[in-house]
Structure 1
Amino acid sequence: MNAHWNLFIAFFRVGMLGYGGGPGSIPLIHKEVVDKYKWVTAEEFGDILALGNTLPGPIATKLAGYIGFRIKGFWGMINGVLATITPTIFLAILLLTSLSNIKEFDWVQGMTAAVIPVVGVMLAVLTWQFIEKSGKGMGWIKTITMSVIIMIVLEVIGIHPGIMIAVLLASAIIQKDRKQQIQKEVNS
């Protein structure tokens, strides 16, 4: 099948089923780009997600744009972004025009309440996959220690997640530069 078509279908599904915005879309994007089409590995997806979270704007469109660009260049980027936002545009227009007429129905309230646990479970599964990857890469003691510290920094102190990600990326870059400098000194 045509790569542009697969790209469109993958991100269109995300746009249609990504209830709850960006966080609800992340597991769906992961399923499409890592598991189904294998455009990126789980490790690459984690890196792309981390970098995407440091930038402003909706995460689903950033991921769609980057992965689309990676797969099919400029037109792949446009394709991925349009596929992601098109369902939202049409559904928003449709729902907002009829919302005032149906929001009081029990079935609408029940449907909304029933979707929330599904999104929560999808996020929990994705979180576990990231923690498991980290545990294998850094070791479980470092992963658990770092997770606790980050939880405190984010939830108790109230630091924005983007700042936390930027600090971690900067420290990784500085650490890499130090290691390269030490390696040069050793080789000299």
Structure 2
Amino acid sequence: MIYWQLFIAFFRIGIFGFGGGPTMVPLFHTECVKKYKWVTDEDFADNLALGNALPGPIATKLAAFIGYRVKGWKGALVANIGVVLPIVIVMIALLEVIYKWKDAPGVYGMIQAIGPVIAVMTGVLTWEFLQKAWQGAPSKTGVSVSLALSLVALLFLDWHPGIVVGIALVISFAYSTWSVRKRKKKDGKEGAA
């Protein structure tokens, strides 16, 4: 039963995730965090960040992570088949039709209408992640500075998002390593006393 749920959930994501990664992320969140509760918000956010830092499509990385979390490597395989299969079917079945009718006003209008929907869905998910980061942050100043520096790098310096994510990962890794070492030293001193 769980394999069928995995397949159906990821198949739905593949069907409705027109446009690739940015459109699929909110669908992943809805199916895997809100509906089935296979992963927590924190796990989802962490693995989304890690997946974005790695090369390749985000859909297959998230499907593999969540499928593996639910049912091991078989779950990862089922989830990936579920998310990829609709894309393959649609590409094969509709490519010729879209190519033939791409300049028709109705088809052109539908394709143009997808952009704002993607922007709204991505904006809502970003807002939810920002709220969770703000609530769970030990330092509100750190979150504010990180957000401001990221926006400056992306909007004014025109840095590639991958570079910004990479720098954020390195800084986060360095900070968490320092924090753990500091805590261990403190615990060691308290244990010796």
Q: Does the TM-score normalized on the shorter chain lie above 0.5?
A: yes
Q: Secondary structure at the match of 1:101?
A: helix
Structure 2 stretches of 5 or more lacking a match? none
Give the Å deviation of 1:143.
Answer: 2.5
User: Which residue type is aligned with residue 132 of structure 2?
Assistant: K
Equivalent residue number for residue 145 of structure 1: 145
Structure 1 stretches of 5 or more lacking a match? none
Q: Is the 8 A contact 1:22 1:60 kept in 2?
A: yes
Give the Å deviation of 1:141.
Answer: 4.1
Q: Structure 1 residues 168, 23: closer, same or farther in 2, change over 3 A?
A: farther
Identity of aligned residues (%): 39
Q: Is the 8 A contact 2:153 2:164 kept in 1?
A: no
Equivalent residue number for residue 173 of structure 2: 170
Give the Å deviation of 1:185.
Answer: 4.4
Q: Secondary structure at the match of 1:76?
A: helix
Q: In structure 2, how many angstroms separate the alpha carbons of the residues matched to 1:12 and 1:176? A: 41
Equivalent residue number for residue 21 of structure 1: 20
Give the Å deviation of 1:173.
Answer: 3.3
- In the alignment, does 2:178 pair up with 1:156? no
Equivalent residue number for residue 136 of structure 1: 135
User: Which residue type is aligned with residue 44 of structure 1?
Assistant: D
Equivalent residue number for residue 46 of structure 1: 45
CA RMSD of aligned residues (A): 1.7
Give the Å deviation of 1:147.
Answer: 0.7
Q: In structure 2, how many angstroms separate the alpha carbons of the residues matched to 1:122 and 1:41? A: 19
Q: Is the 8 A contact 1:30 1:45 kept in 2?
A: yes
1:106-117 aligned at under 5 Å gives the runs 106-117=105-116
Give the Å deviation of 1:103.
Answer: 0.3
Q: In structure 2, how many angstroms separate the alpha carbons of the residues matched to 1:57 and 1:165? A: 19
Equivalent residue number for residue 70 of structure 1: 69
For this pair of structures, how many residues does the alignment match? Answer: 187
Q: In structure 1, how many angstroms separate the alpha carbons of the residues matched to 2:28 and 2:69? A: 15
Give the Å deviation of 1:184.
Answer: 4.5
Q: In structure 1, how many angstroms separate the alpha carbons of the residues matched to 2:179 and 2:94? A: 50
Give the Å deviation of 1:33.
Answer: 0.5
Q: Secondary structure at the match of 1:149?
A: helix
